[in-house]
Amino acid sequence: SQQGEEDPQALSIQEGENATMNCSYKTSINNLQWYRQNSGRGLVHLILIRSNEREKHSGRLRVTLDTSKKSSSLLITASRAADTASYFCATENNAGGTSYGKLTFGQGTILTVHP
Amino acid sequence: DVKVTQSSRYLVKRTGEKVFLECVQDMDHENMFWYRQDPGLGLRLIYFSYDVKMKEKGDIPEGYSVSREKKERFSLILESASTNQTSMYLCASTIEGGRIYGYTFGSGTRLTVV
């Protein structure tokens, strides 16, 4: 079953603009992660935010987490054409016991950055 | 540079064939995972393994089995391939339950069953 749901499904912006993608989830989590996928390739881990954290930065990426609303957002600042990719949120659910790092992925946001 | 290697990028198999998808990681990770990715459905977990010879079913294990005889290798087996198993298959591994470093993914195997 899909835990995370990204919004929007597709986003088209111009180079230099900021891109914001949102993710909602349903159950209690240990952490939430964002991944990027270039067309036809494997996913690349971008950033992980733990359930007790509210905001995290990595370069041009800013992730926020609101556990009361069960939602997260990924902001990419000053976007570049090379940022064109699909972006997925994934949650490690806290269902009791050991999760073994098992992740549940959303369906992704397709980001297109026009030069 | 740490790596997860999937043996084939593209594979075409016939209906009814037994298919082996191989995944090898060089990071001494305990946990390994097989997902399939389909348009509109995202990534769905097929099986995962948290130790040698240990395996757990994911969300969609039907029609699949796995093997983990060595820590670095996790194989996905399609016992009798069917056309509805045409998909992109992604292998991933992680350490520390993924709580620190996240997953490392392979490049994927695009399987077509005809």
Please determine, for residue A106, whether its predicted confidence score (pLDDT) is greater than 70: yes
Q: Tell me the per-residue pLDDT of A81-90, one tens digit each, with 9 for 90 and over.
A: 999 999 999 9
- Top CATH class, A5-114: mainly beta
Residues of B with Cβ-Cβ distance to A33 under 8 angstroms: 98, 102-103
**Among B31, B105, B107, whose Cβ lies nearest the Cβ of A100?**
B31
Average pLDDT over residues B56-67: 96
| β-strands B10-13, A5-7 pairing | unpaired
Of the pLDDT bands very low, low, confident and very high (cuts 50, 70, 90), residue A4 is: low
CATH topology of domain B4-113: Immunoglobulin-like (2.60.40)
- Which residues of chain B have a CB within 8 Å of the CB of A103? 33, 45, 98, 103
Summarize the confidence of residues B2-18 as an average pLDDT.
94
Q: Convert the pLDDT of each residue in A17-57 to its tens digit.
A: 999 999 999 989 989 999 999 988 899 999 999 999 999 99
The pLDDT assigned to B96 comes to 62
In terms of Cα–Cα distance, which of B71, B102, B50 is closest to A31?
B102
Q: Percent of chain B beyond pLDDT 90? A: 80
Q: CB–CB of B102 and A35 under 8 A?
A: yes
Å between B45 CA and nearest CA of chain A: 8
Q: Taking CB atoms and an 8 Å cutoff, what residues of chain B touch A41? A: 107-108
Using DSSP, state whether B6 is helix, strand or coil.
strand
CA dihedral over A13, A109, A86, A33, signed as positive or negative = positive
Query: Could you read off the pLDDT of B16-30 as tens digits, one per residue?
Result: 999 999 999 998 888
What per-residue confidence (pLDDT) applies to B1?
67
Give residue A2's pLDDT: 40
The residue assigned the tokens 């348009």 is B39
Q: How does residue B2 score in pLDDT terms, banded at 50, 70 and 90? A: low
Contact: B107, A100; criterion CB under 8 Å: no
Q: Which residues contact A59 (CB under 8 A, 6 or more apart)?
A: none
Alpha-carbon distances of B74 from A64, B31, B111, rounded to whole Å: 34, 10, 17
One-letter amino acid at A91 equals T
Yes or no, beta carbons of B102 and A102 under 8 Å apart:
no
| Helix (H) or strand (E) run with residue A24 in it | strand A19-24
Residue A102 confidence (pLDDT): 85
Burial of B87 (0-12, 13-18, 19+ CB in 10 A): buried
Residue recorded with tokens 């994934």 = A90
Our CA angle for B34, B95, A49, nearest 5°, is: 95
Exposed, middle or buried by CB within 10 Å (0-12, 13-18, 19+), for A114? exposed
